[in-house]
Structure 1
Amino acid sequence: MTLRSYIGRMALAGVVAFICIITFFQDGDSSLVSSLPSIPRPNPSPSAPRKFASLRDRIQLSELSWKRTVSQRHQMISAMPNAVVKPWPKDWTEEPGNLVMWDYFPAAWSCPHDVQRVGRLGDGGKWVCGMSVYESLPAPASWTGSAGVPSGGQEGLVVYSFGINGDSSFEAELLERVPSARIWGFDFSVNGWGPQITSAVSQRTFFKKAGIGAKDEPHLTTNGPLYTLQSLMASNNHTYIDVLKIDVEGNEFKSLEAFMDHVRREWKHGGDGVLPIGQVMIEIHANEKYISFPNFRRWWERLEGMGMRATWIELNLLRVTLFQDPKPDCTEYVWVNAKDQQNKLWYE
């Protein structure tokens, strides 16, 4: 075989392969491209199924899904004998029993964006709704130059993190991927950030050796000092938090209750009654020594009334596997604020 004939055959094979590829991708019924998600196109006729394309449509659809689960929750609880729920049943019963705590509070509100894990696998990392949206936010120009990063104000993505405990993988990755992010961290049990925070991003972090509580207790030496969320925000010149990460071993109930009381007081003086928080990553410790089911339900539904929607859930099974606790009463939730007009996730 001559070199010329070999080149000719290779060229012919290339042409044939190219035609096959074009034919494959133009096949509207069986091609790979047609099976991938795409932006819905306008309906060809009024009788065609509706296409939920816009961000507003997706949010409205999630609200409908959430309302259905709330209705189911109320129905299931009402059907229980004397409306008494056993959050961790040990014996099989007739319906409507055989639900555990978390079954009553599903993550039924779908994040209308991507959901990505940030930080290490397992305990310490967090799921984030709309991570790509946060990544697209530019860093404010005022941060550049020798002046450094200002200590307060609403510039960029404002992040609060309660509960460090030596692991800052979530904060480190968030700072690396989101140039507009600044993080205020709080933990009375450690003296600073975990080793994951490097010098390259440390100038966008601020740490205070303190915890979150139901009231200000600056002189508390055992499990303290403690401050309310509203006091910490005021001290940092913040009126809004874009992302709140909270893991405070059961103290989440009283501390968020106090913040809801604060927001309600503001509402009576002209506020909108919506929590000034865009997204929350929270580890909930529903141990019965911290909170009963009726109080948990009241606390949860009060948060829902102020805009919060559960969009992701991840059980923390270390309570069962490592500590041999028979009740999986510790879990991670992601909430987004569906009523919030300041939420950067809802910008189009």
Structure 2
Amino acid sequence: MAVRMGQVIGIWFWVAFTFFIFVVLNQTRGFLPLGISTNTSTTTSPKQLGLSTRQRMARSESSWRSSVSLRHDMATAHPAHPQVPFFPAQTLDQFGQYPYTLWDFFPATYTCPHDIQRVGRLGDGGKWVCGMSLYEAKPAPAISRSSSQQASTETIIYSFGVNDESTFEAEMLARIPSAHIYAYDYSVTSFGPQLSPSYSARAHFKQLGLGAKDELYRTPQFFSLASLMAQNKHSYIDILKIDIEGSEYTALDAFMDECDKTGIFPIGQVMIELHLVDDQHVNFETFGKWWERLEAFGMRPTWLEVNLLSVTLGQGKTDPRCVEYVWVNAKDEKSVLLME
């Protein structure tokens, strides 16, 4: 009898204990701080809200336009305008205001309408790609198609500045079956060792330089971007990567001169490292005009990453003069980013 009584008491003990735990857990929800929910399904993305790609891009466009207005307000209010210094001392100026660096005037205020991923090695050499998943989902061209049909389904990538480091190019070829990369660098003779020979059919390298005009007398020779596209029979570039140590300004200016004829900038997105190494030729006013000329063609800054390598190494360079930017073409009707 004593044993049976013990069993009954034990059963009721566990029933009461279970009920106690249930009550405590339910009461705990009432003590959670405001704004914290135990229901994780309440977090919604733009896609879950039912926004299309164009609607998301329209919202980003509004944010970008606001930043342009703020940029002009900041510039005109600066006591040194229009000769605003790139990197003033980080102390209060004579007007009691904190001065800005150049990069404060040109933030990445246009949100990528899809995922954005970093491709390539960490540190110098890796790049951010807007809509990487969409490029990966694009199938490789069918071999049976005609050459013109096959070319139209390829993902065309131009890469200027290899410098014996090809982790970006190698990963893009590995992840995007439709990718063909056209790489140019006057300082090296081939891709870096990171690129596997198995991608040779889709990896095209020439020891040439990118410039504002064709300079056939030089060794190696230099060509404009428009000339290289004509040589390759390309009318459109999906992704353009540029890292040419300060020559990017004149090279893209010359390309925009060609684009002025049609009003179309035939590039889906640009990954570029901007260098502020020559204050005499690239000052605040000239940089702003060059930047806004790109914006007029529809290019929008969607990501930035400061390259602090020179700052870390010192060597007399204490300012962050190199910044990686990603621009997407908001006016591009051929863009992969328009896929849902």
TM-score greater than 0.5 by the shorter chain: yes
- 3-state SS in 2 of match to 1:201: helix
Post-superposition Cα deviations, 1:51-72, rounded to whole Å, max 9, x if no partner, equal 5622111100000000000000
**Residue 107 (1) aligns with residue 72 (2):** no
Counterparts in 2 of 1:271-286, with a 5 A limit?
Answer: 273-286=263-276
Quote the offset at 1:33 in angstroms: 3.9
Aligned Cα root-mean-square deviation (Å): 2.5
Amino-acid identity (%)? 50
Quote the offset at 1:35 in angstroms: 4.3
- Separation in 1, partners of 2:298, 2:96: 31
Q: Which has the higher contact order (CA 8 A, sep 6+)?
A: 2
Question: What are the ranges of 5 or more consecutive residues in structure 1 without an aligned counterpart?
Answer: 1-15, 42-50, 268-272
Alpha-carbon spacing, 1:139–1:96, altered in 2? closer, same or farther (3 Å): farther
Give yes or no for contact 1:154–1:238 (8 Å, CA) kept in 2.
no
Alpha-carbon spacing, 1:39–1:318, altered in 2? closer, same or farther (3 Å): closer
Q: Letter of the aligned partner of 2:223 in structure 1?
A: Y
- 3-state SS in 2 of match to 1:142: coil
Instruction: Choose 89-98 or 57-66, whichever is displaced more.
Output: 89-98
Instruction: Choose 89-98 or 284-293, whichever is displaced more.
Output: 89-98
Give yes or no for contact 2:210–2:222 (8 Å, CA) kept in 1.
yes
Choose which of 228, 234, 238 in structure 2 pairs with 1:232: 228
**Residue 86 (1) aligns with residue 85 (2):** yes
Counterparts in 2 of 1:124-203, with a 5 A limit?
Answer: 124-142=125-143, 153-203=151-201
Quote the offset at 1:323 in angstroms: 3.3
Q: Letter of the aligned partner of 2:188 in structure 1?
A: V
- Separation in 2, partners of 1:194, 1:131: 22
Question: What are the ranges of 5 or more consecutive residues in structure 2 without an aligned counterpart?
Answer: 1-17, 30-35
Structure 1 partner of 2:299: 308
Alpha-carbon spacing, 1:203–1:40, altered in 2? closer, same or farther (3 Å): closer
Structure 1 partner of 2:321: 329
- 3-state SS in 1 of match to 2:108: coil
Alpha-carbon spacing, 1:143–1:197, altered in 2? closer, same or farther (3 Å): farther
- Separation in 2, partners of 1:180, 1:210: 25
Give the aligned length: 304
Structure 2 partner of 1:347: 339
Quote the offset at 1:219 in angstroms: 2.1
- 3-state SS in 2 of match to 1:296: helix
Quote the offset at 1:347 in angstroms: 2.4
**Residue 34 (1) aligns with residue 26 (2):** no
Q: Letter of the aligned partner of 2:253 in structure 1?
A: E
Q: Letter of the aligned partner of 1:131 in structure 2?
A: M
Alpha-carbon spacing, 1:131–1:57, altered in 2? closer, same or farther (3 Å): same
- Separation in 2, partners of 1:32, 1:160: 45
Alpha-carbon spacing, 1:40–1:282, altered in 2? closer, same or farther (3 Å): closer
- Separation in 2, partners of 1:290, 1:123: 25
Quote the offset at 1:290 in angstroms: 4.6
Post-superposition Cα deviations, 1:280-320, rounded to whole Å, max 9, x if no partner, equal 11000022255111100000000000111110000000111
- Separation in 2, partners of 1:293, 1:327: 15
Structure 2 partner of 1:219: 217
- 3-state SS in 2 of match to 1:160: strand
Structure 2 partner of 1:318: 309
Choose which of 239, 243, 257 in structure 1 pairs with 2:239: 243
Give yes or no for contact 2:115–2:133 (8 Å, CA) kept in 1.
yes
Post-superposition Cα deviations, 1:163-205, rounded to whole Å, max 9, x if no partner, equal 0000000000000000000000000100000111112212101
- Separation in 1, partners of 2:47, 2:203: 41
Instruction: Choose 233-242 or 90-99, whichever is displaced more.
Output: 90-99
